[in-house]
């Protein structure tokens, strides 16, 4: 099968990178799988010129102030090949790190975030890109209406760098972290009605046990839920530090990790409906990718990665077979090609310099 891919447009600067991008582009177009060796070679050529900041007039020193260093930059560049003329939907704009990377290579970017504060900062950061950069506020789950709002139907790439940003995590007022005292909030979108405080004070023991187990993979889920139920009999639980004390008293500390880590992760996932939103979005993303368009998703825990992996496998299998069928049948859902079958993980160097990258996994699919 031949898939059409948008013609590679010339990139005047950074000839090494251009060649690498074209090579990767060709391998996508030819449906060859890109090998680990190719990936390493690309990482090397990327490292030798570094993240581009040349187009937007920001000096290097100023870049360092920004709160989010984009994760797996080389790998994202390799996957998205963001040459001029391409249009990319960055569904998780955050600090604008990835968007800047894509913009500086010449692509047009539609940056989306549900967090008004993130959007404001990224907008100011990337202002110098003018019309090349558009922003929309909302949940990427509503990709249909968000793209319609800017008059776009199909894009050449969709990027999702899932989870919360370090800025959100490090702001005590957002209530995401067990490391600081703050209001029990955890909403990525402050317009949403449901917060961590509602969950902790209103949900039944059964409901809490389920999410602590499913979303936090917490072995002591029931104990933690019972402890919360008992504590709230004395009055509402309003602060992150109260929740930390309650669950830490019943979950044994077995490693360096704070015993409340998994409970906090579970509550955050539930408050923001993260897994459900991801499932819905994967299906929708296919409708908005042009043929040859690339879907790149960075996940940070196994629950998310499993969803992405199963979706990509299901949609990239041309034929289905079952013992009761006389012969394999065409898969009606077949519409993706996986240039790299396994998840791509960050280089050792990146993990050393940015511990947050440790659990990151990138999966890439190309629309047929």
List interacting residues with ligand SAM (CB under 6 A).
68, 70, 91-92, 94-98, 112-115, 118, 139-141, 161, 163-165, 188, 277
- In the bound state with ligand SAM, the residue whose beta carbon lies nearer, of 243 and 278, is 278
Identify which of residues 141 and 245 has a Cβ nearer to ligand SAM in the complex.
141
What 3-state DSSP class applies to 297?
strand
Q: State the virtual CA torsion across 195, 197, 198, 199 in degrees, nearest 10.
A: 90
> Which of 267, 180, 165 lies closest to 216 in space, CA to CA?
267
Element housing 75 (H / E): helix 73-80
Q: Which is nearer to ligand SAM, 165 or 347 (CB)?
A: 165
| Closest approach of ligand SAM to the CB of residue 186, in Å | 11
Among residues 188 and 227, whose Cβ is nearest to ligand SAM? 188
Q: How far is the CB of 1 from ligand SAM (least distance, A)?
A: 32
Hunting for tokens 């005292």 — which residue is that?
A: 181
Residues 170 and 182: beta-carbon distance below 8 Å: no
Least gap, CB of 267 to ligand SAM (angstroms): 15
Of 23, 45, 47, which is closest to residue 34 (Cα–Cα)?
23
Q: Strand ranges (DSSP E) for 199-265?
A: none
Count Cα atoms within 13 angstroms, Cβ side, for 192: 20
36-49 helix and 15-29 helix, angle to the nearest 10 degrees:
160
Judged by CB, which is closer to ligand SAM: 332, or 355?
A: 355
d(CA 81, CA 19): 11
Q: Rounded to the nearest whole angstrom, what is the least distance from the CB of residue 120 to ligand SAM in the complex?
A: 11
CA pair distance 3, 1, nearest whole angstrom: 7
Nearer to ligand SAM, 119 or 365 (CB): 119
**Whole-number minimum distance, CB 347 to ligand SAM, in Å?**
17
Taking the complex as a whole, how short is the minimal distance between the CB of residue 218 and ligand SAM, in angstroms? 22
Shortest distance (Å) from residue 247 CB to ligand SAM: 24
Task: Select 118 or 289, whichever has its Cβ closest to ligand SAM.
Answer: 118
**Minimum CB–partner distance for residue 175 and ligand SAM (Å):** 14
Cβ within 8 Å of residue 234, ≥6 positions away: none
CB 247 within 8 A of CB 221: no
- Of 240 and 281, the one with the shorter C-beta distance to ligand SAM is 281
Distance, CA of 69 to CA of 55 (rounded, Å): 18
CA-to-CA distance for 262 and 279, rounded, in angstroms? 22
- Sign of the alpha-carbon torsion through 104, 105, 106, 110: negative
Residue with smaller CB distance to ligand SAM, 176 or 203? 176
- State the nearest-atom distance from the C-beta of 28 to ligand SAM, in Å: 22
Residue 47 CB-density burial (10 A; 0-12 exposed, 13-18 middle, 19+ buried): middle
């Amino acid at each position: 099968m031949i898939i059409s891919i948008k013609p590679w447009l010339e990139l005047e600067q950074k000839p090494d990178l251009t060649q690498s991008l074209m090579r990767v582009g060709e391998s996508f177009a030819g449906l060859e799988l890109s090998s680990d060796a190719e990936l390493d070679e690309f990482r090397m050529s990327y490292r030798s010129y570094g993240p581009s900041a040349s187009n937007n007039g920001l000096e290097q020193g100023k870049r360092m102030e920004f709160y989010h260093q984009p994760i797996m930059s080389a790998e994202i560049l390799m996957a998205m090949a963001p040459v001029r003329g391409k249009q990319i939907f960055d569904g998780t704009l955050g600090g604008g790190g990835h968007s800047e990377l894509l913009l500086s290579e010449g692509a047009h970017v539609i940056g989306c975030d549900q967090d008004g504060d993130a959007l404001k900062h990224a907008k100011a950061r990337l202002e110098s890109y003018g019309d090349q950069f558009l922003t929309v506020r909302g949940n990427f789950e509503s990709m249909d209406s968000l793209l319609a709002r800017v008059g776009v139907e199909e894009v050449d790439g969709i990027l999702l760098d899932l989870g919360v940003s370090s800025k959100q995590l490090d702001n005590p007022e957002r209530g995401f972290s067990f490391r600081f005292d703050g209001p029990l909030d955890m909403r990525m979108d402050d317009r949403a009605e449901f917060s961590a405080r509602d969950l902790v004070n209103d949900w039944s023991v059964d409901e809490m046990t389920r999410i602590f187990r499913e979303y936090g993979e917490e072995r002591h889920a029931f104990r933690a839920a019972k402890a919360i139920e008992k504590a709230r009999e004395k009055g509402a639980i309003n602060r992150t530090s109260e929740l930390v004390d309650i669950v830490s008293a019943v979950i044994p500390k077995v490693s360096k990790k704070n015993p409340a880590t998994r409970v906090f992760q579970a509550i955050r996932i539930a408050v923001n409906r993260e897994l459900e939103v991801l499932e819905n979005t994967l299906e929708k993303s296919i409708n908005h990718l042009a043929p040859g368009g690339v879907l790149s998703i960075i996940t940070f825990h196994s629950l998310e990665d499993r969803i992405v992996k199963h979706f990509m496998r299901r949609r990239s299998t041309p034929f289905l077979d079952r013992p009761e069928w006389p012969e394999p049948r065409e898969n009606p859902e077949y519409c993706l090609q996986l240039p790299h079958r396994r998840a791509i993980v960050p280089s050792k160097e990146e993990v050393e310099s940015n511990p947050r990258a440790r659990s990151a996994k990138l999966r890439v699919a190309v629309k047929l």
